[in-house]
Chain A
Amino acid sequence: GAVVSQHPSRVICKSGTSVKIECRSLDFQATTMFWYRQFPKQSLMLMATSNEGSKATYEQGVEKDKFLINHASLTLSTLTVTSAHPEDSSFYICSARDSGRDTYGYTFGSGTRLTVV
């Protein structure tokens, strides 16, 4: 089946620094990837849609200058949390869909637990 790899799985950073999270589709090409954020005991909230070769589309209320998304190839999207603050601490998950195999639906990465101290 479709596999999405996400790294790192866990990261701790100091306030004011930037953190990059990678999301890779391992066995398929993904023109579109999605970035979600999940707070404890809450649902996944869509942050942005990452489009290969073009600008990402951000959901209302998500700061595009804080959460930089780059989708430079058909298998890699990155999310950079810039000038991180403790309130950015959360669980971030990426997702992609193999449009060539519709029966698989959406596949998710294993998530990244970000802690800003």
Chain B
Amino acid sequence: KQEVTQIPAALSVPEGENLVLNCSFTDSAIYNLQWFRQDPGKGLTSLLLIQSSQREQTSGRLNASLDKSSGRSTLYIAASQPGDSATYLCAVLNQAGTALIFGKGTTLSVSS
């Protein structure tokens, strides 16, 4: 059974720092991996989608990498801003499945 783990559970940094959020999954037979952002009491906003054949995806200050063989993905946020404060969720889609499987998320707080 696929399990997704995110480390750390919470992270507090001053504005301007570069930071890395980690995601690991137990079954490497995935179709793709998706990073989401969730603000308190809100739905999910898709940040980056990495297909299983890809190594990384970039969008603005965000860069996500995928190492399928080792079951790991990282989300790199450059020059963090207070507006980046949110919970970041990692989710994988199994090759044999249809629904996303989520980690518990990393709650990020960026102070000004």
Contacts and interface: CB of A to CB of B under 8 A. Distances in A.
Contacts of B36: 108
Which one of B43, B89, B102, B103 has the highest number of Cβ atoms from chain A below 10 Å of its Cβ? Answer: B43
Chain B binding site: helix, strand, loop or mixed by DSSP?
strand
Contacts of A13: none
A46 B4 CA distance: 14
A49 B99 contact: yes
Interface residues of B, number: 22
A110 B42 contact: yes
Chain A binding site: helix, strand, loop or mixed by DSSP?
strand
18 contacts: A32-B98, A34-B98, A44-B44, A44-B89, A46-B100, A93-B44, A104-B49, A105-B34, A105-B46, A105-B49, A106-B34, A106-B93, A106-B100, A108-B43, A108-B45, A110-B42, A110-B43, A111-B42
Interface of B: 4, 32, 34, 36, 41-46, 49, 89, 91, 93, 98-105
